[in-house]
Structure 1
Amino acid sequence: MKRSIALIFLLFTITTSYAQTESIAQTKRQYPSVSFNYEQGRIIPTTKFVKGENLLNHPLEHYSSYSLKILWQNPGYKEWQRVYKIPYYGGGISMSDFDDSKEIGRPVSVYGILGIPVFRLKRLQLYTEMQFGMACNWVKYDSVTNPKNLVIGGRFTVHLNLGMTAFYSFSDHFSLGAGMSFIHFSNGGMERPNRGFNIYSPSVELKYQLAGRPAVHSFNPVKRNKAVNDLYLMMGYGNHQLVEHEMDSNYFAIAGISAIFHRQFSNAIRLGIGTDLNYWMGLTANPDGTMGRRDFRNTTIGIILQPEMVIDRLTLVGGIGIYAVHLNYGNFRQTYQRLGVRYNIYKNLSLGLNVRAINFMLAEFLEFNLGYTVKGKSLRAKR
């Protein structure tokens, strides 16, 4: 299972460089760059462990990270690059420090990167940057050797970084950046305890563009695609541990099917509404955390609004829903969220991974999924 997580997360890194690989075959000039980034941030005190219930007996406040990024920013060779106004994309590796290596370790992250421009002047540019990948080298919870770390329950976690960075180009090859980002580490409830880390951090970055700066201020605009309606069908599966029995070693399966009706509003954005039908083995667990009797009460039904960003064959998935039927939460009383990525592996067939959560903070489970899109006809063609 851990190998599967690694493969899915590395898929994001590979696919963010997909267009770059294709354009090499077209013998067009490449514009790679190397960036060195340093973050010095603050850990948000969302858990007792962070607030001071740890072996150090004081709050964990400081976070630092050193990163190396390999990026490309080609001047619109592919349509998706022009749709996103010539973004930069690639992969990175980071080493982080929480000032408590004995209980937390020094995690190493590998992730894909996408930077989308907000505005550009002649030398000053502002980008939103997204990083999505995996982190390892944690010191996880252990009832004997690491009993107070209720934040990290497994050796692998999600690495999620959302931020904004401004770059100033002081030559054709060198740029200096400064930014602010939100960082999250958790394993999606796959191995508990899993309270996770939430961090906000300013950063500085030095970028060296090996082939000089690409022409990002002028490019051929993309013709707006015709609006279409699609039906996305998904089968999902995951294992998780119960929050109320987070110290146990019992794992429960979650399987489900989803149907999302999408409307593509632009070349980059589509919005969907649909339903999630899941069967949770753990909903009827016994009071001691062992497997209980399973029947229709294990079934949950959710209604979800799901916006998505389309980047060639890669899709970034978001979503907010409400449980219409749920044994523990009641009916129409608890919202839930979905955040993930999927990739079209063959025609309309896709492979992906989502994190399902509640209250925007508590991860419930990782949702490995296989999907199929039923393509609709052009709406304009019907007029």
Structure 2
Amino acid sequence: MKTKLLLLYIAGLLAVCPMGGNLMAQTATQPDVLKNDTVSHKLIHRLGLDVRPSYVTPTNDFFDGDNMHQQRIRQALSVHLKYAFQFDKNSSLGRLYPHAYQGIGVSYNTFFCPSELGNPIAVYAFQGSRIAQLSPRLSFDYEWNFGASFGWKKYDRTYNPQNEVIGSKINAYINLGFFLNWQLNSQWSLTAGMDFTHYSNGNTHYPNSGVNPIGGRVGIVRTFGDGATTVQGFKSLSIKPYISYDLVVYGATRKRGFVDGYDVCLVPGSFGIVGLNFNPMYNFNKYFRAGVSVDAQYDESANIKDYRVEESSSSDVKFHRPPFHKQFAVGLSVRGELVMPIFSINAGIGRNLICSGDDTEGFYQILALKTSITPRLFLHVGYQLSKFKNPNNLMLGFGYRFYKKR
């Protein structure tokens, strides 16, 4: 996937987030319940500041001191400024999801090694909500962040040859945090907990080992308007179970490399990917739906390592194009989905049933973010792993939801 296309999809995700005041965006998650809602309800606005110190997990020798400074890279620090909104407690979405908030954030990140990694700036969409109420003013919450990070010092054969973890100046930013939320009053709250972060370019460039900090977070949030819903609980709405059907079409490009003996062989050029998912889902309640998915994917680079031209040199490696059946696979996966206003997070594990060759055989895993654009149309940004360990490809596309009431 070219970086510009990845940025286009992330920009689309960020653009959709402020549409929370629009009825089409509000009703996209649960139209059967919200069809009589109006846009007259005011939004509750929030501003937040987070500080997140982290430990960088040593997933590569580069972090253990195999770098220009011959020093371990273990520490990271990020500072986040965030705007979010909640739905009014008198609106249908406010009664369905009284503690959910969503918005846009920006962060400054440093690994205390600017000459080799840079000090990237991240811009992202985020959403959070309550997991459990521990006391009248203390709750256990979660929050995810997803966006793009800019300003990395990428691998360069001449100027940055030992950085074998980052291959592009722009990388995806993914974060998941769990924390305690102490509500001081209806306007102010303090948060403290831990989070997990992953930076990657989704195999759009090599190298792509990624950076994975794990650490803590402390923050303060100022709520404007009627913040009573964050202090006092009330009886929220529920929905009747029903069945929905999601059809997703996606595409991407990727780089391909493989190990040949003791050498790493990088296949020249980029390769196209196109796929389709058909996913019937049983909606158990307002928060969760699950089902199975039929997944078809064509990967132009699949099994290409088996078709190397023997006469080609290591400096000018060439390949024949594999036959179609070596590059096409159809699988069946089990999916679960967390449903919230505007956003849904879909995760699944599957196995290819129609396939040929080592690259397409076996299990695959999927994690995707669905962002509602209209009541039925949504933006799909996903990532696929192969065999529980190998980064495979991005899944950037659109989906359409067919509803069937019980």
TM over 0.5, shorter chain: yes
Q: Give the secondary-structure state (helix, strand or coil) at the position aligned to 2:124.
A: strand
Find the counterpart in structure 1 of residue 165 from structure 2. Answer: 151
Q: Give the secondary-structure state (helix, strand or coil) at the position aligned to 1:182.
A: strand
Moved more, 368-377 or 106-115: 368-377
- How far is the alpha carbon of 1:38 from its aligned partner? 0.5
- How far is the alpha carbon of 1:191 from its aligned partner? 1.2
Find the counterpart in structure 1 of residue 396 from structure 2. Answer: 368
Find the counterpart in structure 2 of residue 142 from structure 1. Answer: 156
Q: 1:229, 1:376 within 8 Å by CA — same for their partners in 2?
A: yes
Alpha-carbon separation, structure 2, partners of 1:14 and 1:208: 23
Moved over 4 A (4+): 245-249
Q: CA RMSD, aligned part only?
A: 2.5
Q: 1:39, 1:201 within 8 Å by CA — same for their partners in 2?
A: yes
- How far is the alpha carbon of 1:21 from its aligned partner? 5.1
Moved more, 102-111 or 360-369: 360-369
Alpha-carbon separation, structure 2, partners of 1:213 and 1:313: 21
What is the CA deviation profile of residues 137-160 of structure 1, one whole-angstrom value per residue up to 9, with x for unaligned ones? 111112222222221111222111
TM-score, scaled relative to structure 2:
0.84
TM-score, scaled relative to structure 1:
0.88
Alpha-carbon separation, structure 1, partners of 2:215 and 2:352: 34
Amino acid at match of 2:358: N
Find the counterpart in structure 2 of residue 381 from structure 1. Answer: none
Alpha-carbon separation, structure 2, partners of 1:27 and 1:358: 47
Q: Give the secondary-structure state (helix, strand or coil) at the position aligned to 1:375.
A: strand
Residue 237 of structure 2 corresponds to residue 222 of structure 1: yes
Residues 323, 357 of structure 1: alpha-carbon distance in 2 compared, 3 angstrom cutoff: same
Residue 25 of structure 2 corresponds to residue 10 of structure 1: no
Q: How does 1:186-335 map to 2 (within 5 A)?
A: 186-211=200-225, 213-216=227-230, 217-225=232-240, 227-244=241-258, 247=266, 249-285=268-304, 286-287=307-308, 288=317, 290=319, 292-324=321-353, 325-329=355-359, 331=361, 334-335=362-363
Residue 125 of structure 2 corresponds to residue 112 of structure 1: yes
Q: 2:379, 2:399 within 8 Å by CA — same for their partners in 1?
A: yes
Structure 2 unaligned regions, length at least 5: 27-37, 259-263, 309-316
Alpha-carbon separation, structure 1, partners of 2:328 and 2:6: 26
Match for residue 124 of structure 1 among 125, 133, 138:
138
Alpha-carbon separation, structure 2, partners of 1:81 and 1:336: 37
For this pair of structures, how many residues does the alignment match?
374
What is the CA deviation profile of residues 310-339 of structure 1, one whole-angstrom value per residue up to 9, with x for unaligned ones? 3345332211222333512474xx322211
State the percentage of identical aligned residues: 22
Alpha-carbon separation, structure 2, partners of 1:275 and 1:143: 42
Find the counterpart in structure 1 of residue 29 from structure 2. Answer: none
- How far is the alpha carbon of 1:291 from its aligned partner? 5.3
Amino acid at match of 2:256: L
Alpha-carbon separation, structure 2, partners of 1:321 and 1:35: 38
Residues 265, 35 of structure 1: alpha-carbon distance in 2 compared, 3 angstrom cutoff: same
- How far is the alpha carbon of 1:348 from its aligned partner? 3.0
- How far is the alpha carbon of 1:246 from its aligned partner? 6.7
Residues 203, 134 of structure 1: alpha-carbon distance in 2 compared, 3 angstrom cutoff: same
Match for residue 58 of structure 1 among 71, 87, 93:
71
